């Protein structure tokens, strides 16, 4: 959407991702992450951190956000992973449609039995006032799932891989947990996984000495901006001491990522817990090359085999 419709809808959702609201989610996210790590540490031999930590963490946080009942979480996790799988297969589409049907029923159930979660608050403040329709709440729930699942999981896996490949930075973080927020920002800058924004020119402009005409289409590379040598020292290297807070990994302007506070919290909690609880973590084999989801340019890992 573009303004003004986009502005109206964004205002309806933005309070759900405020610093205060996201901070309230922290205990639940910590329980989720530590529960997953408990299961990992009970295993013997190498484990795949994508399948055992990154993906389920992302799914379970979305479950917490939307108020998915505990007994439905296994179904929700399985369908979410299938629906956001790279390649756009018929199986992925079928899983996405199943999730939409599920969320449709979930919204209906929450209308009948109100609670305290994002869907219930939208029902109370937007649906009952006529500002949103039932289908709009369902579609935005699907959008939140699609936007926040693969990206958060991918950043967790890539973040752990990057720290393991930079032992000095990992040792420093292990000795000083206050470095975690700036380490997360540097990882976001370094990887820029939600890349390839599409925009259309609305009026003739000149940009970088090139004339762009109204109606021209643009694909904007956030990764290129985040590797700009005029903005960042040693832009192609990973250094948690880089002043990376001005990165544009979450976009910029009116379409800047709505869930960036939640994404940062997921990364801080998950990376912090892994660093603290598994001090001998190491790669267990060769990691698959980065994969690319060409239609949205999302980078991730097939698997991350580790042991300790």
Catalytically active residues are 147, 150, 152, 257, 266
Q: Which of 103, 139, 98 is nearest to 1 (CA)?
A: 139
The upper half-sphere exposure of residue 17, i.e. CA atoms within 13 Å in the direction of its Cβ, equals: 20
Beta-bridged to residue 205, according to DSSP, are 212
| Residue keyed to tokens 């990973």 | 238
Query: N- to C-terminal Cα distance for the chain?
Result: 47
Cα separation of 63 and 72, whole Å?
A: 9
| Residue keyed to tokens 């660093």 | 275
The upper half-sphere exposure of residue 255, i.e. CA atoms within 13 Å in the direction of its Cβ, equals: 11
The answer to whether 158 and 246 are in contact (CB under 8 A) is: no
| Residue keyed to tokens 């709009």 | 136
Cα separation of 33 and 43, whole Å?
A: 16
């Amino acid at each position: 959407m573009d303004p003004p419709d986009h502005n109206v809808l964004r205002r309806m959702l933005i309070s759900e991702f405020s610093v205060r609201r996201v901070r309230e989610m922290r205990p639940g996210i910590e329980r989720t992450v530590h529960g997953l790590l408990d299961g990992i540490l009970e295993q013997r031999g190498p484990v795949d951190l994508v399948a055992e930590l990154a993906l389920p963490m992302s799914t379970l946080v979305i479950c917490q956000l939307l108020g998915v009942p505990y007994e439905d979480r296994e179904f929700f996790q399985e369908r979410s992973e299938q629906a956001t799988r790279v390649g756009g297969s018929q199986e992925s589409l079928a899983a996405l449609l199943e999730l939409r049907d599920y969320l449709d029923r979930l919204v209906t159930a929450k209308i009948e039995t109100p609670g305290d979660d994002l869907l219930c608050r939208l029902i109370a403040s937007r649906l009952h006032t006529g500002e949103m329709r039932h289908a709009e709440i369902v579609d935005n729930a699907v959008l939140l799932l699609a936007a926040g699942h693969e990206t958060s999981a991918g950043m967790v896996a890539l973040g752990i891989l990057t720290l393991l490949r930079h032992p000095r930075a990992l040792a420093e973080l292990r000795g000083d947990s206050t470095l975690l927020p700036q380490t997360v920002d540097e990882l976001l800058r370094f990887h820029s996984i939600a890349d390839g924004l599409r925009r259309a020119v609305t009026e003739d402009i000149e940009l970088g000495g090139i004339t762009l005409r109204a109606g021209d289409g643009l694909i904007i590379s956030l990764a290129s901006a985040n590797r700009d040598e005029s903005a960042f020292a040693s832009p192609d290297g990973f250094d948690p001491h880089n002043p990376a807070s001005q990165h544009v990994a979450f976009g910029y302007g009116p379409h800047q990522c709505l869930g960036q506070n939640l994404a940062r919290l997921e990364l801080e909690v998950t990376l912090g817990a892994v660093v603290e609880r598994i001090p001998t973590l190491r790669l267990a084999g060769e990691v698959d090359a980065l994969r690319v989801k060409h239609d949205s340019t999302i980078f991730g890992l097939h698997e991350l085999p580790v042991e300790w």
